[in-house]
């Protein structure tokens, strides 16, 4: 008789719980509690100017503030995702929707989000009168507008570029619209979407910090959160609180990366469309943990079962439907197109007319000219940032990217630098500027570069990593080296990545100018000559015509630059240098 002292494999399998399940369950409970407790803070009364939230610099409150800010980030991310799916899908599947959505997104993407904060805050406060929810919504909205556009674009592009044969397979095997979306289209967009979520989330911290403490229309608004904490510390010249906040922020970025983004990226790897085995699939301990969980498996199973039942119902109707080729009369399509274009043109003309009339009556054309020059000043700063960052980070990025061992260490670091909100570092630079008596006209460049430069490094590393090995071997074999190697192999190969990085860096720098061209430490305030400072001042004073003029001018600069420069470089990258 065989004695069994330990449970058989089967018995173990029957056990509903594993260690992973316990960990996950505890995590979920903690998360729910946290969200409820922290979220409640958003529902308190708010009656400016009498009833305002206050910020205490006691380090014990720091976790709470961090949690408040994080919650805002995730709420915004949730909205961004919903927007991405709905709008991205609409643009990819309807011609007319596409013609409106894509140019609109393109402009919105270039608009300085911070410049609009004044508009949105007043709007949301009016909407949720008497509750802090208005301010919360304004902050979430600011984060949302900073996150959403590139996500939507990425998803739209993925949907448009689903390989033709996969779409045909979906049609031959008669997948429903929903099945097509969930099994073919959305999966094809996952990788791009996840990466853009990571980038957006990183960028979002900057706007959390900027939107939690802002003076709009002569009124200081403070929203409990890490950003407000930092602002308070600056006002009180409290160095200790500032350093603490920075450390806490850094820790938070790392934790979120580990428990959310790493597992997401590792999970997304299976949605790669290239059929060959990847060089090295990304891994994540968190994902391993989740995969081991039996409870999650059971949940997934149950969801699949439910989905099965749901789709069975719609299927009968769909399969029974009669098919007909879409009727296509060339003439009518042309007519509708023409009508559509005329309507669009009229709308654009109306808006431009309104803007000109507004400027003419409210500020006058002399000031407008002045604002154009201010824009030029900021443009020079942005240009310097892009050029200098390129000169410094491109060679370094290439060296890092082409050396896999270095890249493995450097990539997470740059990703951290991209995610860390640069405005947390502003006070330290400000102190230095004040101490050495450097004008913010020069120092502003440094402040704006603080966040923007990393996009170039990050993308160039990624570009250098993706140089095909056979090309490198070919270059070695042909004894191509030194300058020639750069010119004929490396630069063309990293060029597309550089363009992406430079566009993002330039956009980031424009946005940063609004908070970087006016900075203060205690009672000392430094101001630079530039469009960013103009907008910030107009916002603080509640001067509507100047807010509109400033923001409009920045839009013109950014959109104009996109059209004249970046788009061409992008086209060049797409056609000439595509690997």
Q: How far is the CB of 184 from other proteins (least distance, A)?
A: 6
Position 166 contacts other proteins (CB under 8 A) = yes
Q: Which stretch binds other proteins (CB under 8 A): 181-189, 246-254, 446-454, 490-498?
A: 181-189
Contact with other proteins (CB under 8 A) among 173, 366, 437, 523: 173
Contact with other proteins (CB under 8 A) among 56, 99, 183, 527: 183
Question: How many chain residues bind other proteins (CB under 8 A)?
Answer: 35
Residue 61 tokens, joined: 């409150």
Spatial separation of the C-alpha atoms in residues 450 and 422, rounded to whole Å: 6
Contact with other proteins (CB under 8 A) among 271, 340, 428, 577: 271
228: left (phi over 0), alpha (psi -120 to 50) or beta: alpha
Position 310 contacts other proteins (CB under 8 A) = no
Position 329 contacts other proteins (CB under 8 A) = no
Spatial separation of the C-alpha atoms in residues 367 and 382, rounded to whole Å: 22
Q: Which stretch binds other proteins (CB under 8 A): 57-65, 177-185, 486-494, 531-539?
A: 177-185
Spatial separation of the C-alpha atoms in residues 209 and 249, rounded to whole Å: 11
Position 165 contacts other proteins (CB under 8 A) = yes
Is the Cβ of residue 182 or residue 215 nearer to other proteins in the bound state? 182
Position 302 contacts other proteins (CB under 8 A) = no
Q: How many other C-beta atoms are found inside a 10 Å radius of the C-beta of residue 337? A: 13
Contact with other proteins (CB under 8 A) among 324, 329, 523, 575: 324
Position 287 contacts other proteins (CB under 8 A) = no
Position 323 contacts other proteins (CB under 8 A) = yes
Q: How far is the CB of 19 from other proteins (least distance, A)?
A: 25
List Cβ neighbours of 92 (8 Å cut-off, separation of 6 or more).
98, 155, 156, 159, 160, 185
Spatial separation of the C-alpha atoms in residues 373 and 171, rounded to whole Å: 56
Position 169 contacts other proteins (CB under 8 A) = yes
Q: Which stretch binds other proteins (CB under 8 A): 69-77, 120-128, 269-277, 507-515?
A: 269-277
Contact with other proteins (CB under 8 A) among 3, 36, 60, 319: 319
Contact with other proteins (CB under 8 A) among 13, 177, 240, 270: 270
Cβ atoms of residues 547 and 363 within 8 Å: no
Position 316 contacts other proteins (CB under 8 A) = yes
Contact with other proteins (CB under 8 A) among 1, 40, 60, 172: 172
Give me the half-sphere count of Cα atoms (radius 13 Å) on the Cβ side of residue 470. 1
How many helices (H) and strands (E) would you count in the chain?
Answer: 25, 4
228: nearest Cα among 240, 218, 215: 215
531: nearest Cα among 375, 385, 383: 375
294: nearest Cα among 579, 541, 492, 14: 14
Spatial separation of the C-alpha atoms in residues 548 and 359, rounded to whole Å: 9
Position 174 contacts other proteins (CB under 8 A) = yes
Q: In 422-563, at which residue ranges do the beta strands (DSSP E only) sit?
A: 518-521, 524-527
Position 54 contacts other proteins (CB under 8 A) = no
Position 177 contacts other proteins (CB under 8 A) = no
Q: Which stretch binds other proteins (CB under 8 A): 20-28, 183-191, 394-402, 537-545?
A: 183-191
**Is omega for the bond preceding 527 within 30 degrees of 0, making it cis?**
no
Spatial separation of the C-alpha atoms in residues 75 and 324, rounded to whole Å: 43
Binding residues for other proteins, rule: CB under 8 A, are 163, 165-166, 168-169, 171-176, 179, 183-184, 187, 190, 270-278, 308, 311-312, 315-316, 319, 322-325
């Amino acid at each position: 008789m065989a004695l069994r002292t330990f449970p058989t494999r089967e018995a173990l399998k029957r056990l509903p719980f594993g260690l992973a399940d316990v960990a996950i369950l505890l995590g979920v409970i903690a998360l729910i509690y946290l969200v409820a407790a922290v979220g409640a803070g958003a529902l308190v009364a708010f009656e400016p100017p009498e009833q305002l939230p206050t910020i205490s610099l006691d380090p014990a409150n720091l976790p709470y503030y961090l949690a408040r800010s994080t919650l805002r980030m995730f709420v915004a991310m949730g909205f961004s995702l919903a927007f991405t799916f709905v709008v991205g899908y609409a643009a990819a599947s309807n011609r007319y929707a596409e013609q409106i959505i894509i140019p609109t997104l393109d402009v919105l993407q270039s608009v300085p989000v911070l410049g609009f904060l004044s508009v949105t805050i007043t709007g949301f406060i009016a909407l949720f009168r008497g509750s802090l929810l208005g301010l919360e919504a304004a902050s979430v909205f600011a984060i949302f507008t900073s996150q959403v556009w590139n996500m939507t674009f990425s998803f739209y592009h993925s949907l448009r570029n689903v390989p033709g044969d996969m779409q045909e397979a979906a049609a031959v095997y008669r997948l429903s619209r929903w099945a097509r979306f969930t099994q073919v289209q959305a999966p094809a967009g996952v990788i791009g979407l996840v990466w853009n979520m990571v980038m957006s989330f990183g960028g979002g911290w900057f706007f959390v910090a900027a939107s939690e403490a802002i003076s709009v229309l002569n009124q200081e608004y403070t929203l409990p959160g890490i950003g407000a904490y930092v602002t308070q510390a600056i006002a009180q010249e409290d160095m200790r609180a500032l350093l603490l906040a920075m450390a806490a922020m850094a820790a938070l970025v790392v934790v979120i990366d580990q428990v959310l983004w790493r597992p997401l990226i590792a999970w997304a790897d299976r949605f790669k469309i290239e059929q060959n085995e990847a060089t090295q699939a990304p891994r994540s301990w968190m994902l391993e943990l989740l995969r081991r969980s039996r409870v999650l498996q059971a949940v997934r199973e149950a969801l699949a079962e439910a989905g099965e039942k749901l789709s069975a119902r719609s299927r009968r109707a769909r399969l029974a439907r009669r098919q007909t080729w879409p009727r296509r009369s060339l003439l009518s399509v042309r007519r509708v197109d023409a009508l559509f274009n005329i309507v669009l043109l009229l709308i654009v003309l109306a808006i431009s007319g309104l803007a000109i009339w507004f400027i003419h009556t409210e500020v006058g054309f002399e000031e407008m000219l002045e604002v154009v020059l201010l824009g030029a000043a900021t443009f020079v700063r942005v240009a310097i940032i892009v050029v200098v960052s390129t000169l410094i980070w491109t060679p370094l990025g290439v060296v890092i990217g082409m050396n896999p061992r270095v890249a493995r260490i450097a990539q997470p670091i740059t990703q951290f630098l991209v995610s860390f909100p640069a405005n947390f570092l502003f006070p330290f630079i400000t102190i230095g500027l004040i101490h050495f008596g450097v004008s913010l006209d020069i120092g502003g460049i440094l402040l704006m570069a603080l966040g923007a430069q990393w996009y170039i490094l990050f993308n160039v590393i990624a570009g250098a990593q993706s140089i095909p090995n056979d090309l490198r071997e070919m270059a070695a074999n042909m004894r191509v080296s030194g300058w020639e190697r750069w010119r004929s192999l490396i630069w063309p190969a990293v060029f597309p990545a550089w363009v992406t990085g430079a566009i993002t860096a330039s956009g980031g720098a424009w946005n940063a100018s609004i908070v970087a061209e006016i900075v203060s430490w205690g009672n000392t305030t430094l101001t630079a000559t530039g469009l960013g400072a103009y907008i910030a001042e107009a916002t603080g004073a509640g001067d509507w015509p100047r807010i509109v003029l400033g923001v409009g001018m920045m839009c013109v600069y950014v959109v104009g630059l996109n059209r004249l420069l970046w788009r061409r470089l992008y086209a060049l990258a797409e056609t000439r240098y595509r690997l």
